[in-house]
């Protein structure tokens, strides 16, 4: 089965398979020698693995970067070379003795490729897809897999010659995500679309029951309708049979008003954010106190950074750490606000992290103000993990916010000297970047009230509790208004009911005191 995120979106692409074991996602460096050992899903007792041909060094010129080898039981013969790759190995989807797909990538420019190859004969693989991993508009989708007689997932191959695969895609587009099902002939490269999600619904393919009859199981939702499963006949697009009738689990919150905003940063880069307003809000009520939530993402080119994310038709799901709770408290909420950090060509995204961070946050507030729903003098900002890091930096380097909430964050990048998030340079290679990005080094500049929350047992390598402890000490040492809350026994995310309820109380109290009760902007 394909992986779905909490919003029901496909999050695993054919070209975005997991990297090699024990390899950081921000590097293409790998250990020398055999790695990624696994069993072939389509063959009995056949093990395969990968060996680097460049010494594991992605900076070294090499026509063949990785080689896949295999060995059949009883494992006494010499290994067979299966396929050579010019890029770092990302993963294989096995089909049968004549058809398999292999993916490779290069992190520096986000290049990903997928090839078709014959596992039996060591013929040169042929390119199937070649794109940027961040180019969601041109994501071809994920090949559908089905269990074979051994219970292992293999490519669902159709057609008389078994050369047709079926692709389930998120369908990102300028109008928002519109999931689809395609069939693709591997020989002719001809694609035929079975079906595509239509407004005002967001409908995602979950399983293919019959490739000949084009019968699908989908999950369908809308802004007001909770997700439910349906049997869809793709040959008869309007024929739907309900399989479940799950009710709205958040009915007590009333009807949430969601709007997907599309606006631009000062440099013209397109951005998006989900705007939520209180159920009974009227335009005559004037601008509201606001809460902005975000999680910055690095990109290597502006064209992909500006692509629209998500769908305006998804049902709103609320997790324990969601900012959406605060619409019930009279706030306008800017959720999933896009904060792209772009570095094109030889420039790395983090070279101008602070400038782009502030510009992205300001653009969102300006758009809310333009719509007349956000009071720019009463805006709070919150984030978790890398979002907490963002929050601290926004308070250190701008005057946009009245208060901040930072949960389970990292604030001193010298404590993560071998890279963080998608920064592939070490501290010793780019000390100025690490120092400039660390809100710890700017603790003396933070005058805006900040609430720090951290799990006592956080074992995430980049966010050990010492990050919040030392940052809090630095803040208090410079007279800042700061509060540090430790949740006993909690790790990077919080699980206990007591922890979550206390966290929500702390956040609500902080926002009410420093954002909601701040002087309001006059109503025009």
Q: Which residues are catalytic?
A: 385, 458, 492
Q: In terms of C-beta density within 10 A (0-12 exposed, 13-18 middle, 19 or more buried), how is residue 249 classed?
A: exposed
Pull the structure tokens for residue 84.
């050579």
Look at strands 374-384 and 288-294 and give their pairing: parallel
Other beta carbons less than 10 A from residue 399's beta carbon: 10
- Specify the 3-state DSSP secondary structure of 251: helix
Structure letter (DSSP) for residue 187 = T
Which residues share a beta bridge with 27? none
* Whole-angstrom distance, CA of residue 384 vs CA of residue 403: 15
Contact 349, 422 (CB under 8 A): yes
User: Shortest CA distance to 114 belongs to which of 96, 127, 123, 98?
Assistant: 127
Pull the structure tokens for residue 353.
């992290």
Cα 513 vs. chain centroid, distance in angstroms?
Answer: 32
- Does an H or E element contain 277, and which? strand 270-277
* Whole-angstrom distance, CA of residue 77 vs CA of residue 93: 25
DSSP string, 12-74: --TT-PPPSTT--TT-----SSEEEEEE-TTSTTEEEEEEESSTT-TTS--S--EEEEEEETT
What are the CA-CA distances from residue 325 to residues 193, 194, 284, 347, 510 (Å)?
39, 39, 23, 39, 14
What are the CA-CA distances from residue 156 to residues 91, 150, 216, 443 (Å)?
17, 14, 14, 55
Pull the structure tokens for residue 180.
């689809």
Other beta carbons less than 10 A from residue 345's beta carbon: 8
- Does an H or E element contain 510, and which? helix 497-511
* Whole-angstrom distance, CA of residue 281 vs CA of residue 375: 14
């Amino acid at each position: 089965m394909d992986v779905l995120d909490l919003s029901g979106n496909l999050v695993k692409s054919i070209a975005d398979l997991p990297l090699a074991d024990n390899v950081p996602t921000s590097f293409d460096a790998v250990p020398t020698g055999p790695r990624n050992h696994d069993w072939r899903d389509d063959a009995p007792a056949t093990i395969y693995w990968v060996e680097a041909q460049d010494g594991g060094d992605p900076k070294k010129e090499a026509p063949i970067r990785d080689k896949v080898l295999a060995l059949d039981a009883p494992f006494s013969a010499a290994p067979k070379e299966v396929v050579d790759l010019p890029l770092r190995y990302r993963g294989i989807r096995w089909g049968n003795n004549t058809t398999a797909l292999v993916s490779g990538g290069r992190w520096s420019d986000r290049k990903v490729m997928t090839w078709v190859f014959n596992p039996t004969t060591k013929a040169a693989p042929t390119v199937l897809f070649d794109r940027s991993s961040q180019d969601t508009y041109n994501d071809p989708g994920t090949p559908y897999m089905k269990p074979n007689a051994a219970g292992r997932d293999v490519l669902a191959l159709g057609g008389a010659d078994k050369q047709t695969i079926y692709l389930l895609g998120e369908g990102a587009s300028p109008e928002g995500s519109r999931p689809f099902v395609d069939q693709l002939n591997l020989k002719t490269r001809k694609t035929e679309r079975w079906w595509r999600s239509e407004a005002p619904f967001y409908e995602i393919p979950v399983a293919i029951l019959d490739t000949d009859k084009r019968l699908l199981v989908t999950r369908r939702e809308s802004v007001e309708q909770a997700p439910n499963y349906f049997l869809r006949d793709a040959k008869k697009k309007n024929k739907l049979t309900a399989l479940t009738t799950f009710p709205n689990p958040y009915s007590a919150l009333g009807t949430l008003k969601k709007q997907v905003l599309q606006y631009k940063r000062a440099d013209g880069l397109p951005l998006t954010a989900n705007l939520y307003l209180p159920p009974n809000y009227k335009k005559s009520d004037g601008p509201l106190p606001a809460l902005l939530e975000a999680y910055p993402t690095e990109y290597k080119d502006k064209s992909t950074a500006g692509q629209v994310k998500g769908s305006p038709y998804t049902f709103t799901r609320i997790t324990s750490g969601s900012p959406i709770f605060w619409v019930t408290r009279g706030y306008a909420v800017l959720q999933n606000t896009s904060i792209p950090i772009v570095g094109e060509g030889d420039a790395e995204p983090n070279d101008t992290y602070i400038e782009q961070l502030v510009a992205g946050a300001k653009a969102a507030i300006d758009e809310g103000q333009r719509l007349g729903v956000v009071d720019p003098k009463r805006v709070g900002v919150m984030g978790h993990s890398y979002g907490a890091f963002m929050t601290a930096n926004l308070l250190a380097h701008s005057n946009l916010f009245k208060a901040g909430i930072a949960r389970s964050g990292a604030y001193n990048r010298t404590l993560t000297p071998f890279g963080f998030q998608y920064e592939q340079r070490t501290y010793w290679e780019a000390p100025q970047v690490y120092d400039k990005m660390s809100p710890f080094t700017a603790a003396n500049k933070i005058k805006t009230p900040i609430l720090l929350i951290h799990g006592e047992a956080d074992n995430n390598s980049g966010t050990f509790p010492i990050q919040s402890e030392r940052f809090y000490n630095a803040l208090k040492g410079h007279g800042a208004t700061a509060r540090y809350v430790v949740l006993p026994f909690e790790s990077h995310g919080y699980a206990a009911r007591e922890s979550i309820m206390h966290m929500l109380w702390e956040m609500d109290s902080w926002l009410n005191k420093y954002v909601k009760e701040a002087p309001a902007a006059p109503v025009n």
